[in-house]
Amino acid sequence: MKKTNAVRILERLAIDYQLLEFDVDENDLSAQDAAKKLGLPPDQIFKTLVARGDKSGVIITCIPGSSELDLKALAKNSGNKKIELVPLKEIHQLTGYIRGAVSPLGMKSNYPLYLDQSAFNHLSIIVSAGTRGLQIGLSPSDLAEVLEAKTATLTR
């Protein structure tokens, strides 16, 4: 099993996690596809999105794979007037990760992270391990604590 930066961080902090591997379809890098292949509900797989606020700069969000980010809610909760998703071409430069493999753990910089409140409806949530086809299952409270995440309702 691959050791990614995300996995190393969890091991260093002695946080319980589970690695889940699946075959990647390069034409469908969606959280829904990952959920189907892992046999899990799409609202338990959390996708990591990179946004930019007019006041805060880069912000990371983790929301359920079955949902859409509410930019107004994120702006309100992060003290921004306006927020937009970062263009795909900037993702790697900002995070160190590629599309379809952005993990909230182990990014190049420590950006503020906002975790959707619905994460706490689950005993464990699934996030990218930092490489396509590899996911990490862990408790939402552990993820929130490690990343000093703020929680809010961020989806519609």
So what's the pLDDT on residue 111?
Answer: 96
Query: Alpha-carbon distance 31 to 48, whole Å?
Result: 10
| Structural domain boundaries, residue 11 | 5-152
Whole-number percent of the chain with pLDDT over 90: 83
**Strands of the 18-21 sheet, one edge to the other:** 18-21, 134-138, 125-131
**What SS3 class is residue 5?**
helix
Query: Alpha-carbon distance 92 to 11, whole Å?
Result: 24
pTM across the whole model: 0.93
Residue keyed to tokens 């292949």: 37
So what's the pLDDT on residue 100?
Answer: 87
Query: Alpha-carbon distance 74 to 153, whole Å?
Result: 8
CATH of the domain at 97: 3.90.960.10
Domain count, the chain: 1
pLDDT digits (tens, 9 = 90+) for 96-154: 999 889 999 999 999 999 999 999 999 999 999 999 899 999 999 999 999 999 999 99
